[in-house]
Amino acid sequence: MGSVSIVGAGPGDPELLTIKAMRRIQTADVILYDRLVNEAILSYGKPEALRIYVGKAPGHHSMPQEAIEKLIIKYASAGNHVVRLKGGDPYVFGRGGEEALAVAAAGIDYEVIPGITSAIGAAASAGIPLTHRGLAASFAIVTGSRCHDQASAAHWEALVHSVDTLVIYMGVSTLSDIRQQLLKFGKNPATPAALIENGTTARERTVTGTLGNMDKLAAALKISNPALIIIGESVAVRDQLLGLQKGIHSQIG
């Protein structure tokens, strides 16, 4: 019997991969990887390691989740060290818990190696603190992909009145609905908001505005997945930092 490492690859920048994650990738016999895993990270594996793409894009899954779990179990049962490589962190909207349960039920030894999730990595890369003294003492990570499913949608009313900073994954396609829900339950339309596209990568693009105009900004600038939405007063810190950096650069120049 082999073993399984469920590994977080981080938010995109390969240098944000943990040392422990890299070591597991280097010793893997089989690597099953997701769509948002940087290809540079795959190069850390052994040349002879089998690499299998099992990524999911909005509206298009290369393989059903149950089939992915069967593949993990199949290769591990044959005596291989299997690395299940995921963007971000396996336990933050990564279905890592489902895969851990499947592997454990099959009696296979496994471990979970955390990764920097996009909420943390992309926000920091864009200069947005999720908590900031005097502005934000709490934050919540939610998914926007269930906005049309009232039975499992985020509890927007509770979030509006109890959390300072909202970080929304998979929300670009439902941005207008998210905005409407937040305004409906009393969120100030002037609340600063940011959209971070391809966070931590060379293609990173950050757009800032307000809750009131964020959907129009996203449409006008053609923001697309993968993108993160951040709503809260601490978003304004980004502009302060950019202003200070410009001042430093002008003094140096």
Out of 90, 113, 136, a domain closes at 113
Q: Is the pTM of this model over 0.75?
A: yes
Question: What's the pLDDT score for residue 57?
Answer: 72
Question: What's the pLDDT score for residue 59?
Answer: 63
Q: What six digits make up the tokens of 202?
A: 């060379």
Question: What's the pLDDT score for residue 145?
Answer: 81
Question: What's the pLDDT score for residue 58?
Answer: 67
* In contact, 213 and 102? CB cutoff 8 Å: no
Question: What's the pLDDT score for residue 246?
Answer: 76
Active-site residue identified among 20, 22, 56, 177? 56
7 in a structural domain = yes
Say whether 29 is catalytic.
no
Residues of the chain with pLDDT under 70: 58-61, 146-152, 247, 249-253
Active-site residue identified among 13, 29, 34, 215? 34
Average pLDDT, the chain: 93
Q: What six digits make up the tokens of 160?
A: 């509006």
Out of 113, 131, 158, a domain closes at 113
Active-site residue identified among 86, 89, 170, 187? 170
Out of 113, 143, 175, a domain closes at 113
Q: What is the CATH number of the domain that holds 167?
A: 3.30.950.10
Question: What's the pLDDT score for residue 252?
Answer: 63
Measured CA to CA, the distance from residue 160 to residue 181 in angstroms comes to 9
Question: What's the pLDDT score for residue 56?
Answer: 80
Element (H, E) at 50: strand 50-53
Say whether 214 is catalytic.
no
